[in-house]
């Protein structure tokens, strides 16, 4: 199936490929507890997720009384340490995710990850889930240094370069993902089941899907419409 229009398909991690909300919520609430703040219910945590751990913590602290800047770095370190030790207790693919990766593999696609999660945490999560081998590269929010995470395009340019170049598309769930893809000149598909910081149809993506079964046809349709990055 070498005639598939994209040589590379990149994915955001949290809220796109994997439902990490429960494990992130437990870690967030650990940090909030250290700050004397009330916990965030797991069903409500997704709106804090998307820009990396610092933004998630800052968002939750802001809602519950404000951010103590003097204590923030220590709380973030505690959150990350707890999360690293408890990273894969509840995390799973979104429905159809594994089969979708199989379908892309069968078409000879290089599958990449570009996430604002720290690279070491993303790699650790994939290792614990036994799926690290499925990805041609894993680029985290800290991989390229400060100030270069999504929504800037740098990570997606690096993703294409590390995969050897060629037509690429990106899949995400937030304004960070869509903004980065647009800035990088890549077609972008938004997932409606993710941690959307706006309703999926308002993110500005080139296509929106409700289930991973729809991804391959959506990418083929984008290519037919002339959207190849």
Tens of pLDDT, residue by residue over 64-81, are 999 999 999 999 999 999
Across the range 112-120, mean pLDDT stands at: 95
Give residue 2's pLDDT.
56
Across the range 160-169, mean pLDDT stands at: 98
Is-catalytic flag, 73? no
Give residue 228's pLDDT.
77
Across the range 80-90, mean pLDDT stands at: 96
Give residue 3's pLDDT.
87
> Which among 3, 12, 68, 85 is annotated as catalytic?
12
Round to whole Å and give the CA distance between 104 and 83.
Answer: 30
Average pLDDT score over the chain: 95
What is this structure's pTM? Answer: 0.92
49 pLDDT band, cuts 50/70/90, is confident
């Amino acid at each position: 199936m070498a005639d598939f229009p994209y040589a590379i398909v990149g994915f955001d991690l949290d809220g796109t490929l994997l439902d990490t909300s429960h494990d992130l919520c437990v870690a967030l609430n650990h940090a909030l507890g250290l700050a004397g703040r009330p916990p965030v219910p797991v069903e409500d945590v997704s709106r804090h997720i998307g820009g990396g751990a610092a933004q998630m913590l800052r968002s939750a602290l802001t809602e519950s009384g404000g951010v103590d800047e003097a204590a923030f770095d220590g709380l973030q370190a505690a959150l990350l340490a707890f999360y690293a030790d408890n990273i894969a207790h509840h995390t799973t693919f979104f429905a159809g995710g594994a089969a979708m990766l199989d379908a892309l593999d069968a078409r000879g696609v290089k599958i990449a990850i570009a996430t604002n999660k720290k690279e070491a945490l993303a790699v650790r999560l994939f290792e614990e889930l036994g799926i690290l081998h499925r990805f041609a590269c894993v680029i985290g929010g800290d991989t390229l240094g400060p100030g270069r995470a999504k929504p800037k395009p740098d990570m997606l340019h690096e993703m294409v370069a590390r995969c050897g170049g060629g037509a690429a598309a990106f899949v995400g769930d937030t304004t960070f993902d869509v903004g980065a893809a647009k800035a990088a000149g890549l077609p972008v598909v938004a997932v409606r089941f993710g941690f959307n910081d706006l309703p999926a149809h308002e993110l500005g993506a080139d296509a929106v899907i409700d289930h991973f079964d729809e991804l391959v046809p959506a990418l083929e349709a984008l290519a037919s419409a002339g959207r190849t990055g």
